[in-house]
Structure formats: structure tokens, C-alpha cells
Amino acid sequence: MRIPARAFPLGVATLLLTAAAAPGARTTVTGGAVRGSVAADGAQVFRGIPYAAPPLDRLRWRAPQPVRPWRGERAAIEGAPACLQNDYGWNRGDATHASEDCLTLDVRTPGLTGKRPVMVWIHGGSNRAGSARGTVESRITQQGVVLVAIQYRLGIFGFLAHRGAAAEAKGHAGNYGLMDQIAALRWVRANIAAFGGDPGNVTIFGESAGSQDVSLLLAAPAARGLFARAILQSGTPGFGMPFRPLGQALALGDQAERLAGVRGIAGLRAASAATLLATDRKLHDPVIARPDSVWNDDMVWLRTQIDGAVLPRSPRALLLAAPRRPVLLGTSIAEFGPAEGALDLSRALRLGFGAHADAAAALYRAPDDRRGGPLLALSTDLIFTCPTEQLATLLAGRGWPVWRYRFDLARDGGRSSHGSELPFLFDGLAIGGQPALLQQLWTRFATTGAQAAAWPRYTPAYPLGVTFDSAGMTPGPLAVPASCRFRSAL
């Protein structure tokens, strides 16, 4: 799942503070002392702080281990490498500067004293690409929050379930990237006070795969107590795909072993990173990657795995048992989809709606100025709009405070697509003449757990929300595509 690249320079991580760097404040965290730098607006910025041990060699496909202490003062000035990933073009900067030693996070804070709300960003990229790189360049901290951006293992390194690893872990395997995110949140709870943050007032937020991971952290029992609220931008459990049971996940691990030409978990751990990255490109999930399906093998790591540990049951079952927390969630009006004509629309409808394909077909016959052509509209609904509506209904029906939005605005004035809201959020672009509107609304939610009075709360009986477009923020009913009623509930 692609998101627009945010082009910020990436340096090489350094251990010792050099005279050439502009030093900022010094503080102590788990592992030792760190010194950051000072941003143009006076914010203190710390980059590349380790929150877990490097997941190398025997630690491949194991739960994250405690941080290894360092001596002296660690320079937290240069951006750390991204986690290992293939080069898909849009992520070339991250793929070029990547390493298995990547379990780090960045922090931006207005100051080291105080007790400010904390916002923890989980980046997108299909759970196989992307990084925290550049996130802490955002001046969203001028709204009075502490910003944290975390990295986690990706692709085959972060989500592969193998029988050998399961044998070492009481039958559980996979979802190491989610384990990394939980470890990072534990680090935040233990250390964020040293950056002027309130460990009892943490909001997790993410876009695309990051949003899906946020939804899974809402479900995961091991993440309870680590954050107070969540913001989901264009991502839900599984993106409309059926959840992957452990047996199917282990079969994918068997496939990886064959493709890599090795034997057992020891062989995979001994394999080169290049071999594993090449293997990742060849993995095939026959359940989702079928002819004329809007889901494909690019989404192999977005299909939610029930690993038995992080996710002991389906996300739905876990969410029904989870503590109620405020949630803000939404989508863009035309996220992404195949080029028109790339798939047979009739077959895609049958794969998406089964016996209801004929009834749904009438809803996708003509292009729409805002939603795009039939395949774009169909993909947006199946992957984003319908699952988001189902999740909002599930949570609000259980009494969770829920706020919904729809984004219909693009930086260039064109059609709103996947990730269109990111520059409005992180760069503070104006909406309807109101500068930094998304920053103000997102940080208000992070501070109070509620929204402005002008933004109505969503309930199944009154499915209200707001639309962001060139006019600004408009409250009212959010029309749900009629085809969503033909999709199975979350």
C-alpha cells in the first residue's frame, strides 16, 4: 500500500556527538544518556534512539529484546537507518539507507519539562516499506504535544511466521513488527516523562498500514494500558481481506523457506538479507491474490495474521473484549485502485461481493468526478470505506467514543487520494483558509480525548461526521456507499 513519500534528508546514525553538530538538550533514557539537537522553532529533537536490541542473527523472528546499554553520551542528532525493505521506487530513500539494526524512534518536544500529551506515529508502507524518517520535522509540537515516531521490522523480517520459530515460542509465530510497536510503546511509557511528556496521556496514530497497526494495537491484549486513544487514517484490520489463521501463515513460512533455498529456521537466520528480500518479492498468498481481485501480493503483509500471541483471536473478538477508548478514524474519498481496464469489472465485483455482485454492479457503472472511475471507486470501497464504516459501527455500538471524517482535498487541488491528508497534518497546510486545521483537531483529540463541538460524535443510530474539503470542515451525515451492506461485517 503506497503513501506519498515525504522527502526529508536522511543521515548516517552516529554514536558520539561531534563538534560539527548543533547540540541540544541532554537527557537519560533506558540504555544511557542521549543528546539531541535544536530545531528552528526551538523544539528539542532526538533521532535514532534505540528502544530494543538489534534483531540480528539469532534474534531474527523473535520477540524484541531489551535495549543494550551504551557508555557515555549517545548523539541523537542524525536520522537512523530505516528497517530493511525492498526498493519499490516510492521508498528508494528508505531502501537505500536501511538496516536490520533499525529498532529506533525519534522524539520532538517543545521542552524537557512539563507534562504534555504524547502522540506516537506509526508509519505506513504496506508493512513492508517506509520509515519514521522526517516525521519529527513537523511543527505539530507547536500545538503543545510531544511527537514520537517509531520504526518496526517490515515485510519478511517483521511478519513471517515459520514453524521453527513457532516451536521456540510455544506454538506462536509472526507479527514481530507488532511486537516491536508494543515494545516501543513500553519505552514511551517508561521514558517519555524525560522529554516533557505525560505517559498517562498517549495517543497512537498512523496512516495506511500504520493505521491498520493502530487498530490491531487497540485489539491486542499486550498493548492495553500503553495508550489512551487512537487515530486511524485509512486503515483497518485486514483492509477488508479475510484474516489469516496461523496454519495459513505457517504455510507462507514454508513457501519462504523453499524460495530462499534453505532448510529450517536456522537456514533462514543464516541467509543473507539480500536473499530474504528477494524471497519477499516472490511470496504468494493464493487466498487474496486472485485474478481480477482488488487485493494482490503487494498486500501480503497487510492480511492480518492470527498468531496466537499478539493476536490470540480475531481482531473482532478482541475488540469486543477490549477496554473502551476514544477513536478518531476516516478515509479519503478516492484512495487508490488499479488503472481502469486493468481488471475485469464484472469478475472483480464477483470476488468482492459474491452473490450480491449483480446488485452491487449498478453502483459502479459510471465514473464520478470525486470518486474516480468504477475500479477506483470499487477498490476504495472494498479496501477502505466499507471496512472503516464497519469498524466505526462495531466500536460505537459497544459504547466507544468515535469520531468519523472523510477527506476530499488534495494539495494540488485535484482528487483526494491515499495519503492526501498527510501534508495538511504534518506540514500544517490550510484547509478552507484555516491554517493548521488538522493539527489543531488531531492535537485537541490527543489532549482531551474528544473533539470540537462542531464535530458530531458518531453513533450507529446517527452516523454523523465531518468532511474536509476546499470549504473547510463541514459536519453532517457521512454517506456510506450502498454496496457496503453487501460486505460481511468485520
Grid cell at residue 141: 509540537
Instruction: Please give the C-alpha separations between residue 459 and each of 46, 231, 455, 479, in angstroms, as whole numbers.
Output: 40, 17, 13, 14
Grid cell at residue 352: 468482492
Grid cell at residue 315: 481482531
In whole angstroms, what is the distance from residue 472 CA to residue 466 CA? 10
In whole angstroms, what is the distance from residue 322 CA to residue 178 CA? 17
Element (H, E) at 403: strand 402-407
- CB neighbour burial string for 350-364, b if at least 16 within 10 angstroms, e if fewer: bbbbeeebeebbebb
Grid cell at residue 381: 470501497
Torsion on CA atoms 468, 471, 472, 474, rounded to nearest 10: -70
In whole angstroms, what is the distance from residue 208 CA to residue 450 CA? 23
In whole angstroms, what is the distance from residue 14 CA to residue 275 CA? 28
> Is the separation of the CB atoms in 283 and 255 below 8 Å?
yes
The DSSP letter of residue 343 is S
In whole angstroms, what is the distance from residue 45 CA to residue 29 CA? 14
In whole angstroms, what is the distance from residue 137 CA to residue 114 CA? 21
Write out the DSSP string of 48-75: EEESS----GGGTTS---PPPP-SSEEE
Task: Provide the annotated active-site residues.
Answer: 208, 335, 418
In whole angstroms, what is the distance from residue 110 CA to residue 122 CA? 20
In whole angstroms, what is the distance from residue 198 CA to residue 113 CA? 10
Grid cell at residue 23: 547540540
Sign of CA dihedral 199, 205, 210, 213: positive
Q: Which residues contact 3 (CB under 8 A, 6 or more apart)?
A: 90, 124, 125, 130, 207, 208, 418, 419, 422
- Alpha helices, DSSP H only, in 163-311? 163-168, 176-191, 209-219, 246-260, 264-270, 273-282
Identify the CA nearest to 196 among candidates 319, 254, 111, 306: 111
